[in-house]
Amino acid sequence: MSDYELYYWPTIQGRGEFVRLVLEELGAPYRDVARTSEKKGGGVASVIAIRRHPHPAHPAFAPPVLKDGELLIAQTANICLYLGKKHDFVPPGDGWALANQLQLTIADVTSEAHDTHHPLGSHLYYEEQKEAALVRGRFFAKERMAQWLDYFENVVEHNGGEYLLGAISYVDLSLFQLVAGLEYAFPRAFAAHSAKVPRVVALRDAIAARPRVAAYLDSPRRIPFNEEGIFRHYPELDLS
């Protein structure tokens, strides 16, 4: 198996983390290109360069981008689906479509969580839109996060009570990342609702305990959550 190349920003988990987790669980060799030195073709410049790669029919608008040989694939859900199908990490038959449905739903929640601290746009600093963020963030913490978590709890319950689709698949790795991010960003809101979603919490813990994932989480390859990424902890946006 040739090494994959992942192009994503080197200082944040962001959307690239969903891809990293799948690669780590699969034990698939990959190079996190931007986290290598610029002398070796890495750094932020590599992410900018891959967006300008001569691929006129199918250009990537934004990272993450996965390179597999000569194939370039963008969009987080699309990359995860590609890896899932290639490595038999999706349910058989039409299970790939259900996995992708869930992955896209996770992408929706992820975008909503991001927009709590940047409700007016990413061109402004948080401090420049804090008033709007307080309204949106507190509503998300009080109402929306619980609705999303309840949805995933029901999916797990109706599919055997352990994983989203009955057997483990790549989308369970993404739910782990989503839950970890929400708990980091909104610890009080998450703590207040966690008892109502025991299957989601158990799934998160089960994924974290998987040997390859556990080794990754305990390694320097796992970038810590920080206030530059998607999931940011601003206490004033959480439940009071």
The answer to the question of residue 32 being in a domain is no
0.85 cut: is pTM over it? yes
Q: Confidence class of residue 40 from pLDDT cuts 50, 70 and 90?
A: confident
Residue pLDDT, tens place only, 156-196:
999 999 999 999 999 999 999 999 999 999 999 999 999 99
The answer to the question of residue 109 being in a domain is yes
The answer to the question of residue 34 being in a domain is no
User: How many Å apart are CA 152 and CA 159, to the nearest integer?
Assistant: 11
Domain range enclosing 206: 95-210
Structural domains in the chain (count)? 1
Residue 30 has pLDDT above 70, yes or no: yes
Sheet holding 65-68, edge to edge: 30-32, 4-7, 65-68, 71-74
The answer to the question of residue 102 being in a domain is yes
The answer to the question of residue 88 being in a domain is no
The answer to the question of residue 138 being in a domain is yes
The answer to the question of residue 144 being in a domain is yes
The answer to the question of residue 203 being in a domain is yes
Q: What is the CATH number of the domain that holds 173?
A: 1.20.1050.10
CA 221 → CA 10, 21, 67, 171, 224, distances in Å? 10, 10, 19, 21, 9
Residue pLDDT, tens place only, 58-108:
788 899 999 999 899 999 999 999 999 999 999 999 999 999 999 999 999
